[in-house]
Amino acid sequence: MAIFGPNLADPDQVWGLLTRSLLPVGLIGVMIIGILGGKLALLGAQSVVLSGLVVKNLYEPLFPGKTEGHSMVVARVTVPVALACGIGVALYLNSVIALLKFAIVLLVIWGVPITLIFLWRRLTEMAVRVQVLATVVLVAVIPWSVPAIPALARSATLTQMTREQVIMVRVPGNSALTQPHRIEPVSIYFEEGVVRSNPQDLQSPKTGKGLFRIEVYLLAVLGVDVAGFNPAQLLMTRYLVDALLPLLILIVVSLLTTPTDPVRVARFHARMKTPVGATLEEDAVAVEASYASPTRYDHLKLFPRSQWELTKWNRQDGWGFLGCCALVGFILVFFKAVLLLGS
C-alpha cells in the first residue's frame, strides 16, 4: 500500500505486483520456490494434525472399538479429503477478501459453544448439537447453495440492489467545506454483486455472484428495510447476526432441555479455576481439593448464586487486558502510518 497507494485496484494482487516491481528475474524464482516450499511444509503438518483430530474427536466417538490399523487408514483418507476441500474452496472463492470474511463467519460455529462452555453452567449437549447443525446450514450450506441454483440466483427478489444514496462529506484539506458524495447501489444479498448472466447481452437475466447473505435476508423477512443499507451496514449485519443467533439458539435450547449432571459440571468448573501447580504432585493435590469442594472458588464469581461463571479481575488480568489494548493500538497506528506514507 505504501508503494502503490490508492491506485491499487485489486488488493489481492499486492504481493505479485511487489515481487515483479522490486525483484529481478532470478530472485522472483527464488521467491516463488520459497513460498511453495514453506506452504507445502505447513500444509503437510496441518494435514497430519487435522487427520488426528478427526479420528480422535469425530470418528472414534461415533464408531468405537476400532483397531489402530483401521484408525490409521481413516487418518490417511482424511488427508487427501481435507486437501481436496481446500482446493474446492480456492476454486469457488476467487477473492482473498471474500475467503477471509467467510473464514471469520465459519469460526462462529464452534467458537460460540466452546466459549459458553466456560461461562454458563446451564449449557446442554443437545443445545450444542442443535446450534452447530443450524449454524452450519445458515452460514455454510445456504450461502454456497443459493448461487449454484439458477432459479434462486436469478430471482427478482434476491437480485435486488440497495437504493442510491447521496451524503455530504468534508472536502480534503478544508474541513469547513462539504461536497456531495454518491454511494453506488450494491447487491443486497450476494457478496460479489449482481451481473448479467450473459455479459454480451444487456437484456439477459440478472444473476447473483458470490456467497448469499442469508443474515441480511432474515432481516428482510422480519421487515427491516435492508435496501436502505450501505455496504458497511450490510457487512456489519452479517457479523452481528452470525454472532448473536448462535448464542440465542444455545440459550433457548438449553433452557428447554434437561440440564447436564450438576456434579459433573461443578467438577469441570472447579478444575478450570484451579491454578496450575509448580509440580505435577502439587497440581494433583490442588485438583483433588477442588473436586472435594467444588465451591471453593465461588467467591471469585461476579454473580455467586447464578449459573454464570464470570469471574472478578485481579491485577494480572487488568495488566494483561491493558497490554492487549496497547498492542492492538500500536498495530493500528502502524498501519495508519503506512497508509499515510503511501498517500
pLDDT digits (tens, 9 = 90+) for 141-186: 888 888 888 888 888 888 888 888 777 777 666 666 777 777 788 8
What pLDDT score does 253 carry? 95
What pLDDT score does 7 carry? 57
The letter for the amino acid at 246 is P
Question: Does the global pTM surpass 0.85?
Answer: no
Please state, in angstroms and as integers, the Cα–Cα distance from residue 90 to each residue in 42, 84, 111, 150, 190, following that order.
Answer: 17, 10, 23, 22, 18
Adjacent-strand bridge partners of 194 = 208
Query: Closest Cα partner for 265 from 303, 294, 304, 290?
Result: 294
What pLDDT score does 127 carry? 94
Q: How far apart are CA 193 and CA 201, in angstroms?
A: 18
> What are the start-end ranges of the E strands in the chain?
165-171, 174-183, 194-196, 206-208
Q: How far apart are CA 333 and CA 232, in angstroms?
A: 22
pLDDT digits (tens, 9 = 90+) for 46-56: 888 989 888 98
What pLDDT score does 199 carry? 76
pLDDT tens track, the chain, 343 positions: 556 555 555 666 777 777 877 888 788 888 888 888 888 888 888 888 989 888 988 888 888 888 888 999 999 999 999 888 888 777 776 666 767 777 777 788 888 999 999 999 999 999 999 999 999 898 888 888 888 888 888 888 888 888 887 777 776 666 667 777 777 888 889 888 888 877 777 778 888 888 888 989 999 999 888 888 888 888 888 888 888 999 999 999 999 999 989 889 988 988 888 888 888 888 889 889 988 888 888 888 888 888 898 888 889 999 999 999 999 999 999 988 887 776 5
* Residue where the block lists cell 427491516: 224
Measured N-to-C along each axis, helices 231-256 and 214-221 cross at an angle, to the nearest 10 degrees, of: 80
